[in-house]
């Protein structure tokens, strides 16, 4: 694709040229610079060597994609080109060349045979009437696609577009998608890649059909908004005389070693009798798969074959499994992996939380960090606890079926004996009334924190293992450098000596015990249910500044004793919302360091439309009259304008007055959903309206 940024072009690849060598991200990033038996083990698995020659790599099986009925999912011309020269049609593909030296008609015959086979699953999606490629562009660069694939030109992340030198490892490329497929087929694949590729190297990331359609439209440079205009997959003209030839070729090429195919073309394992020649040759002999291996890849494979009988450690197997699934694209483990500086620019989330709010957590010791049942659900797509991250955790399907127990064994340590916990002490320590104030930053169930909205602690006992929790609280920065989480037990000594006499182990055990008990909430949450911080205008109007949905960060609220209230947008110099009933709960505004956007506490909310066509307005402040009523001042169209609201039974009275300027009056808009009555006795430079909820 001409707009794809081939940022990997500057990276070291072997003599075949960029795209000639198969790209296994985990190998290129962690093993290519110093070939090793471990890197060769990864390649032996990921290139499908184990599928043909057997052996036990201990890594998740990597089978080829579903190819029965392939002409239903890809254009025939593209399929034939791919089978003839896989590395040219899709640079970096792990698919070897199997037709080298054969006639041009062989690829056509294979496609004809595949067309006779019934695929497992039919297309789920139908052509969509609505495709928003512009939205797809934003999603592609925000939800995690660019962790594995190169960002594309024309998208500038908020953190600034990185330079080519900031990309320190290769990205997985695309084939020419416009030649291969269309919007409907590609979106169906993006919605559930595991249907066609159950081995999970392309995981399931999306759960919304709209997201899949929009990203497909973006990747295909699809300009119309009606997906039905996308060219369909051209039907294959059946040529029965080629089917038998294709069947024979599929059997001869041993395609069934990697792909699920009928027994008629089954491929029995071929024992590896020598450790050189064949596929490993720079020029493989006729009939052997052609991989165009790079020099580091070839060296690593030879090292693995020389040591294949050695039993690898559990730690090595765990690390190679995570590399096979490219988990290091998002996660760091033991100081290795995680996004490089270039790709970090595309991770989005809550900047108030620092790096924790932008990047997925480390996988260091994750097998002893998470409870086994919780980890299994994480791997199956459940138990998401970081809603502030826009990057989504993928679902890998069968590829992670044994990963949880493997990580638990690899990361295990001798158990640490911790004391029993005191729930009452844990409740106090988590809170703000004599505790260490965890709820200042962390949520507790449906209770927002008092400041930044870090992850929920109410599920701590179900999520985290106690030994890891103890070690983490002693030194959070050792686990995640740059975290905003402080240590309240520096050097193992409690900063709070009032609770449990400052016994560090007992304090941490008590926090864990209380969280696990699910018995109440920490001390210090305001009792908002009894209106402790609700503002009640009784005798005079109340003026309160806040952030408010539909108004913005410059909202000035005015509550009137008569029961109708106003939100004024100081940035736009205009009234924005009005409502009746309860006025406003000020808890978040007063106590949160990072207050959320609030909503009116009342009902029957009405709004003014934004004055898109009005002249530019400039807010000049407000003053309060003797009755406590604010008068908002602004400059509009050269006029000096004063906008005064006061409460009346079941409504608001608004008086606009202005002076100066060439305009006869400022633009005047009214909220929708109320009855508007004008006082006809107005004088020049003044108009009065009453807004009534009837």
Which of 469, 485, 517 terminates a domain? The answer is 517
Same domain, residue pair 485 and 511: yes
pLDDT at residue 17 is higher than 80: no
Give the pair of three-digit tokens for residue 1: 């694709």
Q: Is the pLDDT higher at 19 or at 201?
A: 201
- Cβ 644 vs Cβ 655: under 8 Å: yes
- Cβ 486 vs Cβ 473: under 8 Å: no
- Cβ 526 vs Cβ 533: under 8 Å: yes
pLDDT at residue 613 is higher than 80: no
**Which of helix, strand or coil describes residue 545?**
strand
Same domain, residue pair 427 and 492: yes
Q: Looking at beta carbons, which pairs linking 671-675 to residues 24 or more positions away fall under 8 Å?
A: 671/575, 671/577, 671/578, 671/606, 671/607, 671/608, 672/606, 672/607, 672/609, 673/604, 673/606, 674/578, 674/606
**Domain tally, the chain:** 3
**Dist. CA 47–CA 57, nearest whole Å:** 12
Q: Is the pLDDT higher at 532 or at 223?
A: 223
Residue 177 domain-assigned?
yes
**Dist. CA 664–CA 659, nearest whole Å:** 9
Same domain, residue pair 509 and 609: no
Measure the CA angle with vertex 68, ends 64 and 73; round to 5°.
90
Residue 666 domain-assigned?
yes
pLDDT (0 to 100) of residue 265: 95
Q: What is the mean pLDDT of residues 28-49?
A: 96
pLDDT at residue 364 is higher than 50: yes
pLDDT (0 to 100) of residue 593: 58
Which of 517, 545, 569 terminates a domain? The answer is 517
- Cβ 227 vs Cβ 144: under 8 Å: no
Q: Give the model confidence (pLDDT) of 311-337 as tens digits.
A: 899 999 999 999 999 999 999 999 999
Share of the chain above pLDDT 90, in %: 64
Grade residue 2 by pLDDT with cuts at 50, 70 and 90: very low
Same domain, residue pair 462 and 605: no
Q: What is the mean pLDDT of residues 501-524?
A: 94
State the first-to-last Cα distance of the chain, in angstroms, to the nearest integer. 60
Q: What is the mean pLDDT of residues 343-371?
A: 93
Same domain, residue pair 549 and 666: yes
pLDDT at residue 541 is higher than 60: yes
pLDDT at residue 133 is higher than 50: yes
Same domain, residue pair 608 and 668: yes
pLDDT (0 to 100) of residue 184: 93
Residue 278 domain-assigned?
no
Same domain, residue pair 446 and 483: yes
287's CB contacts (< 8 A; 6+ apart) are none
**Dist. CA 578–CA 580, nearest whole Å:** 7
Q: Which of 115-119, 126-130, 547-551, 646-650 has the lowest mean pLDDT?
A: 126-130
- Cβ 63 vs Cβ 328: under 8 Å: no
Residue reference for tokens 């505790």:
435
Residue 181 domain-assigned?
yes
Per the DSSP assignment, residues forming a β-bridge with 645 are: 654
Mean pLDDT of the chain: 89
pLDDT (0 to 100) of residue 615: 59
Same domain, residue pair 547 and 639: yes
Grade residue 14 by pLDDT with cuts at 50, 70 and 90: very low
111's CB contacts (< 8 A; 6+ apart) are 70, 71, 76, 79, 80, 83, 236, 246
pLDDT (0 to 100) of residue 256: 96
Q: Is the pLDDT higher at 401 or at 432?
A: 401
Grade residue 611 by pLDDT with cuts at 50, 70 and 90: low
pLDDT at residue 548 is higher than 60: yes
Per the DSSP assignment, residues forming a β-bridge with 621 are: 633
Q: Give the model confidence (pLDDT) of 558-595 as tens digits.
A: 999 999 999 999 888 899 999 999 999 887 777 765 66
Share of the chain above pLDDT 70, in %: 94
Q: Which of 540-554, 605-619, 668-682 has the lowest mean pLDDT?
A: 605-619
Same domain, residue pair 595 and 631: yes
Grade residue 348 by pLDDT with cuts at 50, 70 and 90: very high
Q: What is the mean pLDDT of residues 127-146?
A: 93
Instruction: Give the CATH number, domain containing residue 501.
Output: 1.10.760.10
pLDDT (0 to 100) of residue 122: 66
pLDDT at residue 124 is higher than 90: no
pLDDT (0 to 100) of residue 1: 32
Spatial CA neighbour of 84 closest among 61, 58, 105, 62: 105
Same domain, residue pair 568 and 685: yes
Which of 493, 517, 541 terminates a domain? The answer is 517
Residue 161 domain-assigned?
yes
155: domain range? 133-229
**Dist. CA 618–CA 640, nearest whole Å:** 10
The alpha carbons of the chain give a radius of gyration, in whole angstroms, of 32
Spatial CA neighbour of 548 closest among 595, 607, 599: 599
Q: Is the pLDDT higher at 236 or at 610?
A: 236
- Cβ 606 vs Cβ 579: under 8 Å: yes
C-alpha atoms less than 13 angstroms from C-alpha of 419 in its C-beta half-sphere? 13
The reported pTM is 0.75
Q: What is the mean pLDDT of residues 472-478?
A: 91
**Dist. CA 70–CA 74, nearest whole Å:** 6
Q: What is the mean pLDDT of residues 452-473?
A: 94
pLDDT (0 to 100) of residue 37: 96
Q: Give the model confidence (pLDDT) of 494-508 as tens digits.
A: 988 999 999 999 999
Same domain, residue pair 606 and 510: no
Residue 182 domain-assigned?
yes
pLDDT at residue 18 is higher than 70: no
C-alpha atoms less than 13 angstroms from C-alpha of 427 in its C-beta half-sphere? 12
Residue 176 domain-assigned?
yes
pLDDT at residue 218 is higher than 90: yes
pLDDT at residue 4 is higher than 70: no
Same domain, residue pair 502 and 569: no
Q: Give the model confidence (pLDDT) of 300-309 as tens digits.
A: 999 999 988 8
Residue 284 domain-assigned?
no
pLDDT at residue 352 is higher than 90: no
pLDDT (0 to 100) of residue 392: 94
Bridge-based pairing state of the strands 574-580 and 603-607: antiparallel
Q: Is the pLDDT higher at 158 or at 190?
A: 190
């Amino acid at each position: 694709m001409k707009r794809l940024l081939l940022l990997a072009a500057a990276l070291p690849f072997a003599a075949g040229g960029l795209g000639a060598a198969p790209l296994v991200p985990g190998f290129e990033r962690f093993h290519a610079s110093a070939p090793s038996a471990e890197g060769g083990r990864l390649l032996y698995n990921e290139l499908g060597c184990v599928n043909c020659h057997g052996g036990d790599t201990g890594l998740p099986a990597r089978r080829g994609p579903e190819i029965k009925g392939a002409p239903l999912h890809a254009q025939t011309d593209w399929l034939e080109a791919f089978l003839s020269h896989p590395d040219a049609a899709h640079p970096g593909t792990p698919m070897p060349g199997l037709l080298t030296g054969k006639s041009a008609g062989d690829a056509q015959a294979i496609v004809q045979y595949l067309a006779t086979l019934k695929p497992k699953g039919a297309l789920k999606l139908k052509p969509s009437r609505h495709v928003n490629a512009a939205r797809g562009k934003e999603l592609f660069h925000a939800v995690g696609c660019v962790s594995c694939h190169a960002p594309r030109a024309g998208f500038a992340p908020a953190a600034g577009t990185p330079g080519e030198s900031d990309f320190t490892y290769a990205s997985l490329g695309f084939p020419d998608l416009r030649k291969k497929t269309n919007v409907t087929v590609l979106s169906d694949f993006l919605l559930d890649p595991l249907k066609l590729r159950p081995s999970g190297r392309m995981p399931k990331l999306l759960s919304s059909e709209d997201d899949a359609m929009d990203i497909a439209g973006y990747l295909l440079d699809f300009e119309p908004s009606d997906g039905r205009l996308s060219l369909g997959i051209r039907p294959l003209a059946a040529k029965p005389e080629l089917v038998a030839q294709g069947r024979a070729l599929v059997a001869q090429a041993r395609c069934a070693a990697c792909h699920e195919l009928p027994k008629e073309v089954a491929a029995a394992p071929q024992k590896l009798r020598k450790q050189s020649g064949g596929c490993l040759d720079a020029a493989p002999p006729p009939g052997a798969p052609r991989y165009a291996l790079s020099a580091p890849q070839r060296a690593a494979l030879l090292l693995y074959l020389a040591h294949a009988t050695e039993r690898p450690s559990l730690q090595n197997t765990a690390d190679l499994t995570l590399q096979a699934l490219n988990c290091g694209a998002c996660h760091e483990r033991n100081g290795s992996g995680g996004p490089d500086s270039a790709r970090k620019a595309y991770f989005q989330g809550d900047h108030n939380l620092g790096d924790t709010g932008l990047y997925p957590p480390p996988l260091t010791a994750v097998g002893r960090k998470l409870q086994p049942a919780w980890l299994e659900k994480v791997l199956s797509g459940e138990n998401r606890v970081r809603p502030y991250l826009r990057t989504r955790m993928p679902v890998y399907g069968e590829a992670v079926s044994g990963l949880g127990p493997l990580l638990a064994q690899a990361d295990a340590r001798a158990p640490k004996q911790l004391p029993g916990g005191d729930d009452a002490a844990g409740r106090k320590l988590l809170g703000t009334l004599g505790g260490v104030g965890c709820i200042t930053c962390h949520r507790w169930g449906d209770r927002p924190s008092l400041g930044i909205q870090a992850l929920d602690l109410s599920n701590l006992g179900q999520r985290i293992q106690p030994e890891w929790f103890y070690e983490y609280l002693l030194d959070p920065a050792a686990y995640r450098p740059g975290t905003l989480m402080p240590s309240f037990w520096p050097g193992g000594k409690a900063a709070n000596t009032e609770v449990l006499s400052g016994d560090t182990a007992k304090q941490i055990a008590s926090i864990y015990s209380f969280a696990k008990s699910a018995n109440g909430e920490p001390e210090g949450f305001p009792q908002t249910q009894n209106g402790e911080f609700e503002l009640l205008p009784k005798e005079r109007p109340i003026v309160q500044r806040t952030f408010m949905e539909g108004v913005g960060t410059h909202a000035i609220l005015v509550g009137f004793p008569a029961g109708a209230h106003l939100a004024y947008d100081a940035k736009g110099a205009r009234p924005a919302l009005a409502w009746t009933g309860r006025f406003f709960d000020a808890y978040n505004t007063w106590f949160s360091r990072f207050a959320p956007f609030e909503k009116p506490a009342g009902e029957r909310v009405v709004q003014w439309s934004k004055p898109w066509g009005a002249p530019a307005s400039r807010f000049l402040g407000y003053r309060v009259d003797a009755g406590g009523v604010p008068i908002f001042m602004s400059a509009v169209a050269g006029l000096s304008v004063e906008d005064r609201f006061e409460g009346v039974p079941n409504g608001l009275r608004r008086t606009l007055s202005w002076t100066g300027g060439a305009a006869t009056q400022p633009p005047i808009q009214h909220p929708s959903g109320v009855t508007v009555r004008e006082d006809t006795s107005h004088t020049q430079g003044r108009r009065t309206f009453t807004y009534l909820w009837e």
